[in-house]
Amino acid sequence: MCGIVGYVGERAALPILLSSLRRIEYRGYDSCGILVQDNARGEVHLYKGLKSISDLIQNLDVAQFPGTIGIAHTRWATHGVPSERNAHPHLDCNEEIAVVHNGIIENFRSLREGILHNCLFHSETDTEVIPHLIEKTLVNLRREKPHTYTGDEELLMAVMREALPCLKGSYAIIVAVKGFDGLIAARRESPLIIGVGDRENFIASDVPAVLEQTNRVIYLEEGDIALVKKDQIYIENMDGGEEVRRGASLISWTIEDAEKGGYEHFMLKEIHEEPKAIINTLREYLTETGIELGIRAELMDKGKGTGSGTGAGTGTGAGTASPSLLMVACGTSFYAAQCGKYIIEHLSGIPVHVELASEFNYSDFVLAPDDVTVIGITQSGETADTLMALKKAKRFGCHTVAITNVLGSSATRIADETIYIRAGPEIGVAATKSFIAQLAILYLLGLHLGRARISEHEFMEWIEELKRMPQVAQMVLDDTEAVARRYATYLAGFENVFFVGRGVNLPVAFEGALKLKEISYIHAEGYAAGELKHGPFALLTPDTPVVAILSRDNVYEKTLGNIKEMKSRDAPVLALAVEGDEEVGKYVDGVIYVPDTEPILSPIPNTVALHLLAYWTARARGCEIDKPRNLAKSVTVE
């Protein structure tokens, strides 16, 4: 989940590396490091430390770090505490090979204690085995095949082909070699892109890092090794060892899309972009006659019989009848998938099963390929657990679909088909507009699957309601933010909060709790409103407020009854309810009103309101909102 960047060209490398690093600081911010090569003078300049990228930009200058080749890293710690010695880049014993790395080397300890036992290690990290392994391989090849390779390029690519198969786990790496006029990059189960410039090229974990410099991007694929010079990009894949062609994609985002645009935090900007995210996503797939998701029509004809089974498979064979759809996801995307279950079952009648990707990967599920389509939902398209789940589904022969925000991401290459959300770049670690855009896709998918069971008139009514959702989201921002901010100031004084909901708004309660806990550091839990009496009531006190979500649905009266039960335990209750609901105000301590919608569509206004509540609570507590502690944006490790 770290961020890595590299530059080779004719300009000074340092300013470019610093600017690029700042744009992907959301991938990790425990520590950072930069190495710049000045081949004209035969010098290498290295800095590693615990300062922020902003501090580095202010305090480092080109005079300190001359050179036109460099690599840099911003860290999210996995092995070893954040410290100067654990920061990247890491060097070999002779300090001639430098590596920055994103991922986890699972066999690093056996390498350190085995073939690298004679090497001197300075850090606790798994990464440090990589430069030592490259050095050892280089020495061996020079000794064993002294006349085989015609130049440094050929030799270094051969070294990488020999060394990389020794690494188990995941990696995206950039390698700088003293005196060499280029960089080498490689990836396995971690994202890596090459930005294509004019007599200069860039390497990075993610597109925003290079967007200021170029909009032409090559997405490296699994097993790729790339040699990158200022006027050359050569790529080969370890599977065949032959050169492979990877075309460049044009990125439609602008650098302005990735800037704060006058907002104090990216998160607030991205909450205010939620209406636009819905508009862009709907516009992509709505046509004059209906919905065109770009997936095969026959895809969703499989397994529409509900059968008598209750799971997606069993541990002992194909087992009972399987549901038609299995959704796998993590974090916020998992809550979107849970909403999707309610949405798709309501609109289409097709059964949906939802699994945490991290649990699904190590379960005894056996999938029936003729009955189950597996949908992986991942904002970045690089979530390691979700990618593994898609791969597992493909091993069973299931058809797979990715729902993601990122063109060319790993999920798009693993899945058979892809549906893109159109949220644009999301920089804040806490996902907001991408969650809303995922909901928009799931509404479209539910209607697409259910079209055969509803009349044309009803179908078009649903389409019109969907088209109204950007306006509904904007109304929440315009009319509710001040109220949410006022109640946020109140919540900021507590250390424990419950969020409760029922039906389609139960996952929204989970999402609200997640947002509050990750950016305000308040302990928050989402619960089904009817479940608190089965244990959590023991925690209700005047110091434990409850945020209760109500919609005018078939469980409204039940939820209202649950709220009365909570109030009888002296817990403060803040309700999220639809405009015109005067009844709820009789039983709670405060109400945040949102526009009335069809109940199945209520997650959209409710989510916007809860995102605002979380943001302003964290703001009142003075938290580092865009960079919450211990977290990173793209979870590319298990």
Task: Answer for the pair 203, 190: CB distance below 8 angstroms, yes or no.
Answer: no
CA pair distance 323, 306, nearest whole angstrom: 7
454-492 per-position pLDDT tens digit: 899 999 999 999 999 999 999 999 999 999 999 999 999
Task: Answer for the pair 550, 578: CB distance below 8 angstroms, yes or no.
Answer: yes
Beta carbons within 10 angstroms of residue 67's beta carbon: 20
User: Which string of DSSP letters, residue by residue, matches 618-632?
Assistant: HHHTT--SSS-TT--
- Whether 369 shows a pLDDT value over 80: the answer reads no
CA pair distance 196, 216, nearest whole angstrom: 5
**pLDDT score recorded for residue 636:** 56
**Which residues are known to be catalytic?**
2, 633
pTM above 0.85, yes or no: no
pLDDT range class, residue 316, cuts 50, 70, 90: very low
376-421 per-position pLDDT tens digit: 999 989 898 999 999 999 999 999 999 999 888 889 989 999 999 9
Rounded alpha-carbon distances, angstroms, from residue 123 to 82, 129, 337: 11, 10, 40
Rounded alpha-carbon distances, angstroms, from residue 383 to 119, 379, 535, 638: 33, 8, 34, 8
Beta carbons within 8 Å of 545's beta carbon, 6+ residues apart:
490, 491, 494, 497, 498, 571, 572, 573, 574
* Rounded (5°) CA angle 624-629-632: 100
- Total length of the chain: 638
- Closest listed residue to residue 419, CA positions, set 434, 403, 435, 408: 403
User: Which string of DSSP letters, residue by residue, matches 588-613?
Assistant: SSEEEEE----GGGTHHHHHHHHHHH
Answer with the residue of higher pLDDT: 334 or 24.
334
In order of their start, the domains of the chain are 3-258 (3.60.20.10), 260-467 (3.40.50.10490), 472-631 (3.40.50.10490)
- Which structure tokens are listed for 418? 């892809």
**pLDDT score recorded for residue 322:** 41
- Closest listed residue to residue 612, CA positions, set 420, 503, 478, 500: 478
Q: Which amino acid is at 17?
A: L
- Whether 310 shows a pLDDT value over 50: the answer reads no
